[in-house]
Amino acid sequence: MLCSVTGCTERQMTDRSAVVPILMYHHINDLPANADEGARTWTVSASEFNRQMNWLVEHHYHSITFAQLADALERGERLPEKPIILTFDDGWDIGYGVVFPILKRVGLSGTFFVYPGAIGENPGSGYLTWGQLLEMSAAGMDIQAHSMTHPHMRGLSAEAQRREIVDARAILERRLNRQIVAFAYPFGEYSDSTIASLRDAGYRCAAGIEPGYTQRRSDLFRLSRTRISYGDTLDTFKERVTAP
């Protein structure tokens, strides 16, 4: 929990923390029975996703944005009870066709990490379009950056990393007319130079793929996320959402 200013030690005031599960989704699809382990790791069925969102609402979770989390950790702004962040990586068009309607129906928001290099002008490419992203953003969904072309960041020079980070933010802000404050590392890869470039470019935070529940001010560019996969039943989903 966030501490009040009057009740904080000096250490707590310099490194605020908050228990905020950040759930990580990629594909929301129904898989065949013989799907391999890789597909099952990065996919959740549409029916299970629907059940999971219903459970969150029934148990009074409140979806928040990365800007709200950064405000809480940097400035001590209050978060709602039982805060949670729902993230969807890569910008697959299933985000518009399946995820967006479910989130709207239950009254939750999601953060969609997209990379401009894959965004299309017309439906059918497999990825979201600019028009769909604008509609989602207007309806309260949070759109944030996942680099420009989804490369392995550690394999790039510092200048190439900088271009991936700066160009993605600039294009998303221009096309969507919204502030881009958060970044998701492609493949969960980053280095000290990646973080330095993110700070220089004006991002406020970034998320990896390492699991965890407690988010800290000192780790705003190493935020933890909990992956949800095909094999997760509603019972295991509850366990993943609930901080130990």
Domain count, the chain: 1
Is residue 39 one of the residues assigned to a domain? yes
What residue numbers bound the domain in which 107 lies? 18-241
Is residue 195 one of the residues assigned to a domain? yes
Is residue 8 one of the residues assigned to a domain? no
Is residue 9 one of the residues assigned to a domain? no
Is residue 7 one of the residues assigned to a domain? no
Q: What is the pLDDT along the chain (244 residues), one digit of tens a residue?
A: 444 333 444 444 578 999 999 999 999 998 888 888 888 988 999 999 999 999 999 999 999 999 999 999 999 999 999 999 999 999 999 999 999 999 999 999 999 999 999 998 778 789 999 999 999 999 999 999 999 999 999 999 999 999 999 999 999 999 999 999 999 999 999 999 999 999 999 999 999 999 999 999 999 999 999 999 998 999 999 999 986 6
Q: What is the pLDDT of residue 1?
A: 42
Q: In whole angstroms, what is the distance from residue 61 CA to residue 23 CA?
A: 13
Q: What is the CATH number of the domain that holds 151?
A: 3.20.20.370
Q: Which residue has the tokens 């793929």?
A: 209
Residue type at 11 in one-letter notation? R
Distances (CA, A) of 209 to 93, 99, 117: 22, 20, 22
Is residue 203 one of the residues assigned to a domain? yes
This prediction's pTM: 0.92
Is residue 120 one of the residues assigned to a domain? yes
Q: What is the pLDDT of residue 3?
A: 43
Question: Taking the chain, what is the end-to-end CA distance rounded to the nearest angstrom?
Answer: 14
Tokens of 182: 């958060």
C-beta of residue 21 within 8 angstroms of C-beta of residue 226: yes
Is residue 5 one of the residues assigned to a domain? no
